[in-house]
Structure 1
Amino acid sequence: MLRQSLSLGAILVLAACGMNGNYRDTSVQMDSVAALDIERYTGKWYEIARFPNGFEEGCVGVTAEYAKREDGRISVTNTCRKDTLDGPVEVAEGIARIASPGQLKVKFVQWLPFAGDYWVLDVTPDYSVAVVGEPSGDFGWILARTPTLDDAQLQDALSVLKADGYDTSKLVYPEQPS
């Protein structure tokens, strides 16, 4: 049984890796924010843009909710609607830990030994917009406290991704409720 579980885990990890693309020039230096107020970061965020990935395929109306846990870690609840804003709801729950300022390690499958990098590359002073990425360039998101951003806010977020070596032409913009 353990061997079957490990084989299934390996297949899932390999499948997930194969479904992602590298959207970042990794020769470009990438830094997370020097300080992240996790209390202010917690709460609900709307996904404004993302780089394509297998686990969010067909997702619209995507939100991420972060909450402090009693053990010092952070609960992560990602919600999406499949294909349309009134489509079926899918929820993924994970747990994050702070690895260093502005950097989290997130696990959605607790029995796997791997945790994903989640780097906050930028957050506005009022914590209304955040830009998230990770060193390999397979993932990246623009998040906001509201379902939409004005053009200036979006351009600022895009410039952060570009400065960190991301090819922003590959971003997808999931539909959000108005």
Structure 2
Amino acid sequence: MILPPILVLILLPILLLAACAPQATRIDGFRSKGPIYSNAVLDLTALAGRWTQVAAFSATGAAGCAPGAADFTAAPGGLVLSGRLCLNGESLSYRGPMAFTGPGRLTPAARAPQPLDREWWVLWADTDLRTVVIGTPDGSFGFILNRGGALPADRLVAAREILDWNGYDIGRLALFR
């Protein structure tokens, strides 16, 4: 079928505009493409201690498993993690070294289950280091850890804002109660 020239002149700009329009920015996981920032000034050894998981991303918006915990111990060149986390409704465990791989970034240095096997970025920590937000550039996971009791509303708001600013779909953030 050959289109009349006038129709081509009308449709061509529309098709060109459609081709230039931003495409879907989702990537695999829970965040969209775009910049993500790790906390470059945080001394990662300050993470040493016991943390309780208070939130994580889930495709269903519901936790799907019990909240996890992470115990970090200082070690030469990094930390040692003994932890179990609920990520996307699945309970995942890792016990082993975490190497410092960049400012505000650490990576399991031993075999870890997917998606724990990739670089973890500390996106935010409150000034007293009671709450920390961790995510990944590929958006495969993101979670909030807290220590010293329940997570106050102001720190939850701050953590959600940081996740949103880093491209996470906070509508899929599941809180553990």
1:22-33 alignment to 2 at 5 Å?
22-27=29-34, 29-33=35-39
1:54-69 alignment to 2 at 5 Å?
58-69=64-75
CA separation of 1:22/1:105 partners in 2, compared to 1, >3 Å: closer, same or farther?
same
The Cα offsets for residues 127-149 of structure 1, whole Å up to 9 and x where unpaired, read as 01111111011110111113421
Partner of 2:148: 146
Match of 2:84 among 66, 69, 79: 79
Match of 1:133 among 131, 135, 149: 135
The Cα offsets for residues 86-110 of structure 1, whole Å up to 9 and x where unpaired, read as xxx9853132100111011124526
Match of 2:122 among 120, 123, 130: 120
Counterpart code for 2:129: Y
CA distance in 1, matches of 2:55, 2:101: 25
* Bigger Rg, structure 1 or 2: 2
- RMSD over equivalenced CA pairs, Å: 2.9
CA distance in 1, matches of 2:43, 2:157: 24
| Percent of aligned pairs sharing the same letter | 27
Question: Structure 1: which 5+ residue stretches go unaligned?
Answer: 1-20, 82-88
Number of aligned residue pairs: give it: 143
For residue 156 of structure 1, give the secondary structure of its aligned residue in structure 2: helix
CA separation of 1:108/1:78 partners in 2, compared to 1, >3 Å: closer, same or farther?
farther
* TM-score scaled by length of structure 2: 0.70
Match of 1:102 among 85, 104, 116: 104
Question: Structure 2: which 5+ residue stretches go unaligned?
Answer: 1-27
Name segments (4+ residues, structure 1) moved above 6 Å. Answer: none
Partner of 2:175: 173
Counterpart code for 1:34: A
* TM-score scaled by length of structure 1: 0.70
For residue 116 of structure 1, give the secondary structure of its aligned residue in structure 2: coil
